[in-house]
Amino acid sequence: MEHQTPPPPSSSKESIGAFCTRNNLPDLTRWATFEDDVTPRSVRAVLHERLTYMGEYVERLLYPEGLTDGWESAVLSESEHTGLETLHRTIVLLEKDCALLDLESTPEDDMALIKRLVKEWPSLVADISSVLVKTRAAYTDVRRSGHNPSYLG
C-alpha cells in the first residue's frame, strides 16, 4: 500500500471531522467544542483557549490567592507541587507559541503547532486529571468526616 501525503493545510473552512481526518488527527471534539466550519487557525485558537484554562487552574494551585485554592494546594505533596511547576512551564511555553501565532501565522504554522499540541495533550490532561482526582477525594473525605472547613460553609 502506497503512503499518500495529505494535501497541505488550507485556509478554506471545513467540518472539524473532515479537518481531523484530512490531517490525521484524533477526534478533537473530545477536547473542545468547535464551530461547524473550521480552519487551522480557528482550531489552534480553540485549543489555545483550553490550554489557557488548564494553565490558570495549575497556576491557582501553585500560587493560591483564595481559601479554596490554598486548601486545594495544601492537599498536594511537595513532589506533586514540583510536578505542577514542570507542567505549568510546559503549558506556558505552549501558550506563548500560540500567542505568537495569534500575531501572524500561516495555515502551515498553525498545523505544525496543532500537531505539537495533539502530541502533548494526553500528558497534560493526565497530569491535571490526577490533581483533580486527588483534590476531589480530599473534598469527599472532608464531607464524609463531617468536619467542614469554614469556607465550605
Break the chain into its structural domains and give their ranges. 16-142
**What DSSP designation does 147 have?**
-
Residue 134 near residue 76, CB atoms below 8 Å: yes
Higher pLDDT, 56 or 37: 56
Q: For residue 61, give the nearest of 110, 118, 134 by alpha carbon.
A: 134
Higher pLDDT, 52 or 139: 52
Distance CA 75, CA 135 (A): 7
Among 11-20, 54-63, 68-77, 88-97, the range scoring the smallest mean pLDDT is 11-20
Residue range 121-125: mean pLDDT, rounded = 95
Scan for cell 500560540, then name that residue.
98
What is the C-alpha separation between 61 and 81, in angstroms, rounded?
A: 8
pLDDT category, 8, cuts 50, 70, 90?
A: very low
- The residue-averaged pLDDT of 89-98 equals 97
Look over the chain and give the mean of its residue pLDDT values, rounded to a whole number.
Answer: 86
The answer to whether 44 touches 113, Cβ cutoff 8 Å, is yes
Q: pTM above the 0.85 mark?
A: no
Do the beta carbons of residue 101 and residue 141 sit within 8 Å?
no
Cα separation, 108 vs 105, in Å, equals: 8
pLDDT at 45 over 80: yes
Query: What integer is the mean pLDDT of 29-56?
Result: 89
Q: pLDDT band for 16, please (50, 70, 90 cuts).
A: confident
